[in-house]
Amino acid sequence: MFTTRRRVQTPRGEAAGVPSTGPGASASTGATRQAFVAGRSGDVFEGIARQASGLGREAAEVNGVLEEIAAGAATQAQTLDGAMQTIATMVDSNRRIGDASRAGQQCLVEAHAAVAKVVAGFGETTDTLSQVTSSAREITQIALQTRLVAFNASVEAKRAGEAGRGFSVVAEAVKDLAARVEDASRQIMQTVSMLDARLAELSREIDDDAKGEGTFRAALARSEAQAGEVVQAAVRNVRCCEEVLESVRQLAADSHASADAIAGTRRKAEKFLELSESLIELTVESGIQTGDTPLIEKVIDAATQVSRLFEEALDSGAITMADLFDENYVPVPGTNPQQYTTRFTALADRLLPQVQEPMLKCSSKATLCAAVDRNGYLPTHNARYSRPQGPDPIWNAAHCRNRRMFNDRTGLAAGRSRRRFLLQTYRRDMGGGQFVYMKDLSAPILVRGRHWGGLRLAYQF
């Protein structure tokens, strides 16, 4: 951060370490004073440059921390949304359990009533069959008496001779009807007797298993009670889940509000970071020599070399403009993290190492040097970061960084900037919660006046 210096009053002239410019002073003394002031001004501007560099580092740190917090808040909000959906599903499931339990309880009540009705009906049936048997016996007796009366009438008709012939016919018909009624009654009695025997057998079985029938009724009663308990438990669960759901819903709303607030703060931090980066650039462009000045010139020269190599490839027919500016990024199967190829990837592999590898030796703080296109696609990385991928995606992420998309804030800005140079600051994630604060210096790559991308040089503070 900038530091505030207290102004110290010093005497004029030589006592202050500055040659006097009074009437008797010579012209050479005036020149010396100007040189002294210029030197002091240079020291001040260099101090400002150092402060600006420190400010950029702190801005990168703040932005990086806020980025982590924003990501965590967004994840928390998503988790709460998922929990809210899960609880809502639980509420719905408990409602369905309650409905099903009520239906089951009603079925048990009806079954209990049906069993009681069957037992009662069995007794009624037995009584009815007894009545039928009694009635059949009475009908048989009546039929016998009717046959006897008909027989007597027939005898009297024969005695009457010709006058009793008609009466004799009627008597025979009555006797025949009585015989049929008697036969039908006997058949009824036989059938009823069979039914009565079967019912008697069933009655004995029921009597023998009276205890079991009582156990069954008790089991039905217990099942009814248990079903009622399930219904009550489901109702309590629904009520409890609804209360939890309301709490989670409020928590999710608060979490989303916090995530939005953090995102807004992060946007402001990014503006602060951009302002600090602009201050560093203005310091460099003013002509003041800083630690970044030599690297800036080297990156600009290296980007110019890449432009020349691409144009020479176009002139020789090694590639066309359409292929060099290809944006059809084809995923490489089986890669994790995902790698891509384009129609210019092979050309980049042939041409870029001769520029990128020497740049790693331009400073002991240099970490990487690679070209990216306008969309952050990095076709060819330094040899140390271009290892073949293996089964471990974490290892791949650290050692297999070629043919990857780096379309974050820093990568896109480097690929799309057309300014003479762009100096950015950022936190580089080294894994395991370790971060390194980096500067990302880039210069545009122009091919026949068309912006292809940028050459990036990353180095530590």
| Domain ranges, ordered by start, for the chain | 32-290, 292-461
Q: How many CA atoms lie within 13 A of 299 on its CB side?
A: 29
Residue type at 299?
V
Q: What interhelical angle do 165-208 and 27-160 show, nearest 10?
A: 140
Q: Which CATH code fits 32-290?
A: 1.10.287
pTM over 0.75: no
Q: Are 431 and 421 in contact (CB under 8 A)?
A: no
Which secondary-structure segment (H or E) carries 146? helix 27-160
Higher pLDDT, 33 or 95: 95
Second CATH level (architecture) for the domain 292-461: 2-Layer Sandwich (3.30)
Q: Is the dihedral of CA 270, 272, 273, 277 positive or negative?
A: positive
Q: What are 139-184's pLDDT values in tens digits?
A: 777 766 776 666 776 776 667 666 666 666 666 766 676 677 667 6
Confidence of residue 85 (pLDDT cuts 50, 70, 90): confident
Say which range, 80-84, 371-375, 392-396, 449-453, has the weakest mean pLDDT: 80-84
Cα four-point dihedral sign 406, 409, 415, 421: negative
d(CA 65, CA 272): 14
Q: What is the DSSP letter of 400?
A: B
- In DSSP notation, 411-451 reads HHHHHH--SS-EEEEEEEEEETTEEEEEEEEEEEEEETTEE
H/E run at residue 397: helix 393-399
Q: Cβ neighbours of residue 84 under 8 Å, at least 6 residues apart?
A: 245, 248, 249, 252
Whether 158 and 224 have beta carbons less than 8 Å apart is answered as no
Q: Is the pLDDT of residue 56 over 60?
A: no
pLDDT at 1: 37
Over residues 426-460, the pLDDT tens digits come to 887 765 567 788 899 999 999 999 999 999 999 99
Instruction: Return all residues near 300 (Cβ < 8 A) that are at least 6 apart.
Output: 420, 421, 443
Exposed e or buried b per residue across 178-202, where buried means at least 16 C-beta atoms within 10 angstroms of its C-beta: beebbeebeebbeebeeebeebeee
